[in-house]
A and B are shown apart, each in its own frame.
Chain A
Amino acid sequence: MDNVPKFKTAIWRDEASPDNEFLAQKSYCHGYDVYGEMLGQASFSEYILTLFLGHKPEPDQLYLFDCMAVAIANSGPRDLAIRAAMNSGVGGAPAAANLMSFLAVASGNYQGSHELQQLVSWFVRFDLDYDKWIIALNAPNTERSREDIWEKFEHPPGFLPHAQQASQNTHDFLALRGLWNKYPAISWLKQNLENFENTLGMALGMNFVVAACFYHLGFSPDKAELCSLMLRLPGAAVHSLEAKQQGWKQFPFFGQQIELRNDPGEVGPLPDVSEILP
């Protein structure tokens, strides 16, 4: 068996059951006994952070993570990605299809995880250097030296191209005591919000605040991208279920709202099959 390909992991260890080598009798996550010790003691957030960070989180990390997770767990039924999940759910597709639909739409440059990844990578490089941030935000595609599967940014990442002032929700997030007074990136965003918005002519979006949180949690850009998608799934789940339960008759259908600019008109009649199908 020694020349057989083998998985390698620094995250997880299963101890085999004495009577079945394919069944774990003990499982360890970063060295912690998951079912023997963590279960019953660790909260869900603690466990998620342990998975991503590689160790048990500190209480302040846990608080920051929980705040952020609550902030993004559901963006409501107007959100593009949630609507994707709902459009899957309303037809009665499998649950996984609803979440896959959400993930696809939530992954992009516009309020998505790829935008977030870019922001976290800039936090890693610029920290809180306002001037460097402004240069990058004003020309977000400068470092793009060749084609990529991701298209160019059409707006400064982290900002809302269709709004000029941040929402009250974003202000509330930034003003949360326990965050801005503790985490420099949050207070920096709070202090510079007006400068940013005046300079760029658009509103600071939630993704920028979330990126600041991931930065303080020590998440790499890739970890932040993935974790943010995961943390946004609950909203997709419940709204897709609701759409399924409500049924298609109650779900908005925009067939009559289509304005076709190049309609050739009726080219020919439907075939006459009345002899076969009266």
Chain B
Amino acid sequence: MSIADLFSHENKIVTEMGRSYLSQRVVYRGKDLHHDLKNLSWLELFAYGITGRQFSESEVKLLNFIWVSTSYPDKSIWPNHITALAGTARTTPPLALAAGIASCEAAIFGGKPFKVAIDFFKRANSYVSDGGELADFVDAELKQHKVIFGYGRPLASTDERVPHLIKFVKENSINSLEHFNLAIKVAILLKAKKHINMNVAALYAALGADLGFDAESFHMYMTLCFVAGMPPCYIEAKQDVEGAFLPVRCDRVEYTGESQRPW
């Protein structure tokens, strides 16, 4: 890297991702948006934009199921709570949703678990394919990191999405389930070893790996996975009395800091 890199990039955008010829046509990753891609569902286009490949009908159905199964219009869940606060504070829908989406890139749920988990399953799969024992791999991971993302859940010990997703996978013909099967085996190991249950992040990530996503593209694909739960939270808070979403009395905040002192 040097100043030459800046000179060579000055005043030009060199791309293979696309451009719009306004008033004429749009090229989207090598294809004409209005002709070649016009019949894709929005979700298919989104996945194509991330990976550059088009998924089969059953794969798209699975990708769609993943998002639908985790869209909870529950205002107590943190990102949804933000959108409800935005509604009660009478800010705009895009600001509310953008904030909600950004906050899903969390460490205890969402963004980080998804990305770390898909990488874990890919590494585990390579290890097992090379003749290693899955239990050894899991032990080494636990020794190094103490937790394996996708197993254990804040707020609840089991995850209702897991049986629904397993049922969906079994009822639909998904071509490769190598990582999915691995996730189930890890679940059985961890249940016996640490008495913790699998949460759906493990299955989402494993299926992401089975669909050919790498960690980075899966990270991006899952960015919007919770968003469909947010509009109802915003709308209802906005329909209700202004500023009245979970109001907090002064004495409902426990103060643990310094006593009163002079400035």
A residues touching B (Cβ–Cβ < 8 Å)?
1, 4, 6-16, 21-24, 28, 30-33, 37-38, 41-42, 54-56, 94, 96-97, 100, 104, 145-149, 151, 154-155, 161-164, 202, 254-255, 257-264, 266-268, 270
Contact = CB atoms under 8 A, between A and B. Distances in A.
Contacts of A4: 252
Contacts of B22: 255
Contacts of A202: 1
Given A258-B13, A259-B15, A264 B27 contact: yes
Given A262-B16, A267-B25, A155 B256 contact: no
Interface residues on B, range: 35 or more
B145 A145 contact: yes
Interface stretch (B28-36, B127-135, B166-174, B183-191): B28-36
A202 B36 CA distance: 46
Contacts of B119: 146-147
B253 A14 contact: yes
B112 interface: yes
Given A30-B257, A54-B258, A7 B248 contact: yes
Contacts of B260: 28, 31, 33
A21 B32 contact: no
Interface stretch (B63-71, B90-98, B224-232): B90-98
Given A254-B13, A258-B19, A261-B14, A147 B215 contact: yes
Given A97-B94, A257-B11, A10 B111 contact: no
Contacts of A262: 16, 27, 30
Contact of B255 (A10, A23, A55, A255): A10
Contacts of A94: 91-92, 95
Given A97-B95, A268-B35, 7 more contacts: A8-B254, A9-B255, A23-B250, A56-B263, A258-B13, A259-B13, A264-B36
B77 to A, nearest CB: 13
B15 A258 contact: yes
B95 to A, nearest CB: 5
Interface stretch (B2-10, B40-48, B53-61, B233-241): B2-10
Nearest to B219: A149
Given A100-B98, A267-B32, A10 B92 contact: no
Contact of B16 (A11, A149, A260): A260
Contacts of B194: none
A259 B14 contact: yes
